[in-house]
Structure 1
Amino acid sequence: MARYLGKEATRVDGLAKVTGKAKYTAEFQIPNVAYGFIVLSTEAKGRITAIDTREAEQAGGVVRVFTHMNTGKLGPAPAAGAPPAWSWPLQSDRVFFNGQPIALVVAESYEQARYAARLVKATYETESHNTDFSKVLARAQPDPATAKGKPRGNPVAAMQTAAVKVEAEYRIPINHHNPIEPHAAIAFWQGDQLTIFDKTQEVFGVQKHLAESLGVPAENIRVVSPFVGGAFGASLKPNYYPSLTAMAARELKRPVKVVYTRTQMFTGHGYRPDTIQKIALGAERNGKLTSMIHEAFHNTSSFESFSDSTTGFTRQLYSCPNLHAPLKVAATDLATPTWMRAPGAVSGMFALECAMDELAYMLKIDPMELRLVNYAETDPESGKPFSSKALRECYRLGAEKFGWKSRKAEPRSMRDGRLLVGWGMASSVWGAMQMPASARVTFRADGTAGVTSATSDIGPGTYTVMTMIAAEFLGLRLEQVHFELGDTRQPKAPAQGGSWTTSSVGSAVRGAALTIVAKLLDLANRDAASPLKGAASTDVEMLDGVLRLKRDAARSVVIADVMRRTGTNEI
C-alpha cells in the first residue's frame, strides 16, 4: 500500500513561502549590485533615427545608458536570408512592436534608474503598421507544424449532405499571463564565469540562450531559479532581459539587477495569440457527427514564427469519419506570442465545444448525451486503442456530483435572485507527455536523503511531490528527505510545462531511489548470513530504516547496521 503517493500532504515549502524565507529572483542580495531599468519603444514599427541619452546620463546615480549605439554584440550572426531578428535586444535601430526594448539605464538604485529612464528621448521614422489581426487574415499562411494533418474522408461533401448543420465563428482576444511575480534577473561575473538568478521555467534553456547570446561556453554559465511566483508559460521561452542583464554586468564589471514593472509584463514575454475560429458541424438527426470543419487563424509577429497548434486536438476528441482542421498564421506588428496555459488546446476546445452546445440546442439533445453519441472508443486518427481513457466515467461522475439531471436546458431559464445562471459542460484534451529527465538521490547513513534535479516549481507543488516520491521508495518520513531544484549545477531536467514534470522528473527520482535499494541489497548480501540472500532488488523494499523482503517482512536487515559494517557513509 502506498504510504504517500495519491494521498494528501502538507506542502514542504509552504512555511518558507508564507514566512518570507523562500527567496524569489529579485530578493537575492548581491553586494555592490547596480539596478537596470528597460526603456521601451513607443512606436509599433519603424526605425530609431536618434536617441538622446544625455539628460539621463547626467541624472543622479546613473552608471551607464545602453542603446543600440553602444551595446556589445549579442547573439550569432543571422543566417542568410533570415528576417531582421530583434531577439537579441539593442542590436539595431529597427523597431518591430510597441514595447520593444530600446535602451537599458543602469544606476546605483532602482529609483534612480527608473527616473533616468524617463529622460531618454527617442526619435522615430515610423512605418505603416498593422496590429489589427482581422485586417491581415487574407495574408494568413498554413502553419507548417500542422499542415501535415490531411483531411479525413471528404468533409466538404459530407457537410453538403448533412441532415443538420451548425456554422459559427469564435474569437479569442489576446490573453496575458501576468503572474504575481514579475520577471527579474540578477547577473554577476567572476572572471569568465557567469551566475544569473532568473525567473524561469527552464534553467537549462536560459543557459543555452545566454551561451548563444554572449558567446561563452554553456558550462561557464550558472542559472539559479529556486522559487517561481507563477508563470503559466510566460517563462518557458528565454526572454530578452537575461541577456541584457548579463551583458550590462559584463560591461560594467559589477552585478546588475533588472526587474520588470507590471506595465512591462504586457510586452515582455509574449501572450496567448489573437485567435479566430470558424467551425462547421454536420450531423444526423440523432446527433451523430458526419462532418467537422474547424478552421483556425492566429497572429504571430512580423519577425518570428509561432504556432499555437489550435486545431490539433480537434482530430482526437470525437468519432467522425470526415474532418478537416487547418490552422493558418498571419503576421502582425506585435511582439511574438508564446505558450500559455494548455497552449492551443484550450483555445481550440473552447470553439469546438461551443459549437457542440449549439448543435445540441438545435437538435434538442442533452449536451452530455451528444458527446456520448460521438464518443471516440479508439483514436479517430490512427484507429489504435487509447492506452487509457476515463472520459465516459468523468461525464457520469460530473453529472452525478453537479445534479445535471436537474438542469433546465432552455437558455436564460435559471436564476439566482436577479442573476442569470449558466449551467453547462464541456470536454477537453491534453497530451500525456513525458520528457527526458534526470535526478540525483543521496542516501546517508543517518537515515536522511538529499534529492536534486534542475526542474522548476511554478506553483503546482513540485518540491512536495518529489519529496513524496523519494520518501515513498526510500521508506522514509517526508521530513527525512530534502529536495532541491532550479540550478544548472543539478542533474538536467526539462522545462516545467506541458503537464510532464511529475511523470518525467518523478520517474527519474523513483529510478534513482530504486538504484539506492539495489545498492543496499548488494551491500547487505556481502554478509554470508544475510537473510536477503538470493533476493532480487525488485523483491525488496526500504521502510523505516530496514531493508526487507516484500513478501516476508521478517527477512530484513537494519540499513544503518549494513552501512556501518561496510564503511559506507552515503550512497
Structure 2
Amino acid sequence: MTTTTGTPAATGAVGTGRSRVEGRDKVTGAARYAGDIPFTRLAHGWLVLSTIARGRITAVADEPVLAMPGVLAVLHHGNVPRVNADYVGMLGRPNPVVGLFQHDRVPCAGWPVALVVAETPEQAREAAEALVVEYRAEPHDVEFRAGHEGAYRPEDSSMVRADADKGDLPAALDGAACVMDEEYTTPEEHHCTMEPHAATAHWDDGRLHVTDSDQGSSWVAAELATLFSLDPASVRVRSEHIGGAFGSKGVNAHQVAAVMATTTLHRPVRVVMTRRQMFSLVGYRSPTAQRVRLAADADGRLRVFEHEALNLTSQVHEFVETSAALGRVLYDADAHSTRHRVVRLDVPTPTWMRAPGEAPGSFAIESALDELAERLGMDPIALRARNEPATGPISGLPFSSRNLLACFEEGARRFGWADRDPRPGVRREGRWLIGTGTAAAAYHSGVGRSTAAVTAEADGTFTVRVNASDIGTGARTALTLVAADALGAAPEHIRVRIGDSDLGHAMIAGGSTGTRSWSWAVRLAAADVRERLALGGAIPPEGITARSDTADAIAALPPQERHSFGAQFAEAAVDTGTGEVRVRRLLGIFAAGTIVNPLTARSQLTGGMTWGLSMALHEEAVRDTASGTHVNADLAGYHVAAHADVPHVEADWVDDPVPGDPVGIKGVGEIGIVGVAAAIANAVWHATGVRHRHLPISPDRVLRAAEGSTGA
C-alpha cells in the first residue's frame, strides 16, 4: 500500500494533483510503444552476442543461416558499412559498442558480433541461434574487488571531477575524539525497465526515420547523424511512449543495427532486445568498493571527511560511478577528501542508473554517519544537524535553497523518532527483532538548454511543442500544468506534443533535469504568446506561434549549489533464525522546490524509495568469472522488489522556495532512491546490533552475522 498525505490546494494548475493526460491511452492499449507500431514490409533483426569474454572473431558461418526460411541478411564485421564512432556528443564520447561490427575484436562477453534479419521475429531468432561464430579466446579478468592492483585515477571532465581535497588531513586527525574507518560495497545492479529497448528504422524520401524508445530523441538523432555521416536535418527520431529508462535508454547497439539493416535492405527493420541481451548491451550500475573515514570531536563536529570510491569500467570506455561526489555537498569538515578510482576489466561498459553516484555513495556515507553516531553516543539526526554546512563544503558556493533539516524534523515527527530506544537489539515481537534507521538524501538539480514552441490556435486552445521525453514520470502532464499557468488557460485547453526530434533541441530526460529544463522553455514561449494575445485582434487560422531557447537564460544563472534534499526513515523486522529481513515502513520527506503535480511526484518518490529497498535487500547481478557471463540475467534470477515487499510507503515534502530562481523546479525523479538502502541497513543494525556494510542484506549474510560476526 502507498499512503499519500494531504497537500494544500494550489491557486493555479501547478501544484494540483492531475491524472496523466495519456493515462487512458496507456490503460486501454491505444498508446503505441516502439515495438508495437506497424510498418509495411517490416523486417526483424535479431542480435547475436559473443560467447567469450575476450578475444577475436575468426569466422562467421553465415551461408547456412542465409539459406534458412525467411532470412534476408546476416550483418557482421566483414560486410557492414563503416561508421564514425570517434566523436564527442551531447554527453561526451560514445560507448564504442555503438561502432557496431567495425572490427573482429571482442572485449567482453555479450558484445554484439552479428545481426540476423528475417521476415518474422521468430525466423530471425531461430537463425540467430543457429549462427556459428568462431573465436580465438584470450585470458580475461572480470573479477571486481577492493584493492584491485589495476585501479587508476580517471580523467577529469565536465561530468566527473576525480578528486577534491581541502585542509590538512593528518593535522585534523590528530586529537580527534573518535575515528571511524570502514569499507562498504555495493554489487552490480541493472535497470530492468518494463519495456525492452526497441527501434525501427526506415528511409523515406531521402530521410532516415527511427521510431525508438529513448530518453531524448534530439540526442539520439544527433548521434545517429554523426555515426552515419548524415546531415542532421535528414534524421528524425520519434519516441512517443516509453516504458521506463532509468539511464539506460540512450544510443545503443539496437538503433545502429536497425539503421544498418534498413540501409542495406531498403525496407523498414525493427530490432528489439531480449531481457537477457539488455543485461549485456545497455549498461548497468557498476559494483563499488568504498572506504569512508570520519574523525570527529566529542560533540560530533567532523574534523575529517574522507571517502574513496572504486568502480569498474570496460576495456573500451571509461565510465565513473561518482559515488564520492555526494559528500562534497552533504557534510563539511576541517579536512575534506573525496576520490574516485576505476579499474578496467573485460566486462561491458557501465552507465548511468537512477541517481548515478548518489545511490551507492549514500549507502556508504549514511551508513558511516550512523556508525559514527553510535560510537559517539549521539542521536543520528543530531549528528547530521551538527554538521550542516552553510555553503558548499568544497565549492564554497551558496545553496539555492537547503531545507534538509526541515525534512528531518518533519520526518522524525511523523515517524515517531522521539520514542525510539537508541539501544540496538532490544525491541522484539515474537521471533522478529525490530529496528528503525534514518539517512539523508541529496541529488543535484541541473538544467539543460531546451527550445519550445507555443501556438495560440484559432479555436481558443493552445498547442505546446517541446521535445521532452516522458519515460514514465508524467512529463506530459507536468508540462500541461506549467503551460496552463503560463498562458492563464485551463489545462483542458492545452495540447502537448513531445518525443520528436523535429520539434527542436531539448534536454534529455535524465539527471532530474527534464521537467525543469522543458518547463523553462515552455514558460518563455508562453509568455511571448500571452503578450501578443494581450494586444488584441483576431487569431489567424494558422494561429499565433512563439518560440523560445533557454541558452542565454541558463548562462545568466548565478553560480550556486542547486540540489534537492530529503530525509529517509525505515522500520525493519529481522528474523535471525531464517535470515529474513522485512521492511515494514518507509517514510521519505523531501525538499524539492516547486512540486508541479503532487500525484505523479509522489509516484516518482515512492517508486524510487521502493527501488532503494530493492537495492538494500534483493538486487545483485552475479558474473561467472570463468565465462564472463551473468548467471542470473533475467527477472527470475535477478530479484527486484514487488508491492508485497513493503506494506507501507509514504512520501511527502516540505516547502522549499528557491529565491530568485526563474523556474523553482528541482526534480524528483532520482532523489527518492538516495539514502534508502542506508536507512534500511541502519534499521537492521538497530534491530540486531550487527552492521551490514555489504549489499544486498541477504538471508545468508544475516545468518552469518548472527553466528557471531560483528559486521557483515
TM-score (normalised: structure 2) = 0.72
1:148 Cα shift? 6.2
Superimposed CA distance per residue, residues 356-415 of structure 1 (whole angstroms, 9 cap, x where no aligned partner) = 111111112111111011111222224343221111111100000111112232333334
Partner of 2:74: 65
1:233 Cα shift? 0.4
Picking from 210, 231, 235, the partner of 1:221 is: 235
Give the whole-Å Cα distance in 1 for the aligned partners of 2:307 and 2:480. Answer: 43
The DSSP-based 3-state class of the residue aligned with 2:442 is coil
The DSSP-based 3-state class of the residue aligned with 1:139 is coil
Partner of 2:371: 358
1:150 Cα shift? 3.8
Superimposed CA distance per residue, residues 82-132 of structure 1 (whole angstroms, 9 cap, x where no aligned partner) = 999543111111001101111100000000100111111111111111111
Q: Does 1:87 align with 2:101?
A: no
Picking from 110, 132, 139, the partner of 1:99 is: 110
Contact 1:271 1:340 in 2 (8 A): yes
Give the whole-Å Cα distance in 1 for the aligned partners of 2:320 and 2:203. Answer: 36
1:434 Cα shift? 1.1
Q: Does 1:197 align with 2:197?
A: no
1:512 Cα shift? 1.0
Paired residue type of 2:399: F
Question: Residues 417 and 260 from structure 1, CA distance in 2 versus in 1: closer, same or farther, beyond 3 angstroms?
Answer: farther
Superimposed CA distance per residue, residues 194-249 of structure 1 (whole angstroms, 9 cap, x where no aligned partner) = 100111101111112211221211111100000110000011x3111111101100
Partner of 2:225: 211
Contact 1:2 1:472 in 2 (8 A): no
Contact 2:467 2:499 in 1 (8 A): yes
Picking from 167, 172, 193, the partner of 1:158 is: 172
Q: Does 1:376 align with 2:389?
A: yes
Picking from 313, 330, 337, the partner of 1:324 is: 337
Partner of 2:346: 333
Give the whole-Å Cα distance in 1 for the aligned partners of 2:113 and 2:207. Answer: 27
Question: Residues 260 and 150 from structure 1, CA distance in 2 versus in 1: closer, same or farther, beyond 3 angstroms?
Answer: closer
Q: Does 1:169 align with 2:178?
A: no
Picking from 71, 74, 89, the partner of 2:83 is: 74
Question: Residues 510 and 300 from structure 1, CA distance in 2 versus in 1: closer, same or farther, beyond 3 angstroms?
Answer: same
Q: Which has the larger radius of gyration?
A: 1
Give the whole-Å Cα distance in 1 for the aligned partners of 2:260 and 2:277. Answer: 20
Give the whole-Å Cα distance in 2 for the aligned partners of 1:464 and 1:83. Answer: 32
Superimposed CA distance per residue, residues 19-40 of structure 1 (whole angstroms, 9 cap, x where no aligned partner) = 1111110011011000000001
Give the whole-Å Cα distance in 2 for the aligned partners of 1:567 and 1:289. Answer: 66
Superimposed CA distance per residue, residues 39-78 of structure 1 (whole angstroms, 9 cap, x where no aligned partner) = 0101110001122123322211111111111112122579
1:285-300 alignment, distance < 5 Å: 285-300=298-313
Paired residue type of 1:61: G
Give the whole-Å Cα distance in 1 for the aligned partners of 2:429 and 2:500. Answer: 51
Give the whole-Å Cα distance in 1 for the aligned partners of 2:180 and 2:24. Answer: 53
The DSSP-based 3-state class of the residue aligned with 2:497 is strand
Paired residue type of 1:461: G
1:306-455 alignment, distance < 5 Å: 306-455=319-468
Question: Residues 156 and 270 from structure 1, CA distance in 2 versus in 1: closer, same or farther, beyond 3 angstroms?
Answer: farther
Q: Does 1:131 align with 2:145?
A: no
Give the whole-Å Cα distance in 2 for the aligned partners of 1:419 and 1:206. Answer: 51
Q: Does 1:261 align with 2:304?
A: no
1:305 Cα shift? 1.1
Give the whole-Å Cα distance in 1 for the aligned partners of 2:140 and 2:452. Answer: 48
1:345 Cα shift? 1.6
Partner of 1:185: 199
The DSSP-based 3-state class of the residue aligned with 1:219 is helix
Paired residue type of 1:98: A
Contact 2:95 2:349 in 1 (8 A): no
Give the whole-Å Cα distance in 1 for the aligned partners of 2:361 and 2:73. Answer: 47
Superimposed CA distance per residue, residues 250-309 of structure 1 (whole angstroms, 9 cap, x where no aligned partner) = 100100011111111101111111111001111111111111111111111001111222
Picking from 41, 52, 67, the partner of 1:43 is: 52
Paired residue type of 1:172: T
State the superposition RMSD in angstroms. 2.0
Contact 1:62 1:107 in 2 (8 A): yes
Give the whole-Å Cα distance in 2 for the aligned partners of 1:76 and 1:233. Answer: 21
151-160 vs 36-45, which deviates more? Answer: 151-160
Picking from 109, 119, 127, the partner of 2:120 is: 109
225-234 vs 420-429, which deviates more? Answer: 420-429
Partner of 2:14: 5
Give the whole-Å Cα distance in 1 for the aligned partners of 2:538 and 2:241. Answer: 35
Question: Residues 301 and 40 from structure 1, CA distance in 2 versus in 1: closer, same or farther, beyond 3 angstroms?
Answer: same
Give the whole-Å Cα distance in 2 for the aligned partners of 1:115 and 1:77. Answer: 34
Give the whole-Å Cα distance in 2 for the aligned partners of 1:77 and 1:385. Answer: 39
1:484 Cα shift? 1.0
Question: Residues 85 and 186 from structure 1, CA distance in 2 versus in 1: closer, same or farther, beyond 3 angstroms?
Answer: closer
Give the whole-Å Cα distance in 1 for the aligned partners of 2:241 and 2:430. Answer: 44
Paired residue type of 2:288: T
Contact 1:436 1:504 in 2 (8 A): yes
Superimposed CA distance per residue, residues 495-532 of structure 1 (whole angstroms, 9 cap, x where no aligned partner) = 1011111211001111111111111123x2xxxxxxxx
> Which consecutive residues of structure 1, in runs of 5 or more, have no partner in the other structure?
525-561
Paired residue type of 2:289: I
Partner of 2:24: 15
Question: Residues 179 and 132 from structure 1, CA distance in 2 versus in 1: closer, same or farther, beyond 3 angstroms?
Answer: same
Paired residue type of 1:202: G
The DSSP-based 3-state class of the residue aligned with 1:311 is helix
1:559-570 alignment, distance < 5 Å: 562-563=537-538, 569-570=543-544
203-212 vs 36-45, which deviates more? Answer: 203-212
TM-score (normalised: structure 1) = 0.89
151-160 vs 57-66, which deviates more? Answer: 151-160
The DSSP-based 3-state class of the residue aligned with 1:401 is helix
Give the whole-Å Cα distance in 2 for the aligned partners of 1:173 and 1:382. Answer: 31
Question: Residues 7 and 77 from structure 1, CA distance in 2 versus in 1: closer, same or farther, beyond 3 angstroms?
Answer: closer
Contact 1:273 1:300 in 2 (8 A): yes
Give the whole-Å Cα distance in 1 for the aligned partners of 2:87 and 2:449. Answer: 30
Q: Does 1:495 align with 2:508?
A: yes
Give the whole-Å Cα distance in 2 for the aligned partners of 1:123 and 1:278. Answer: 43
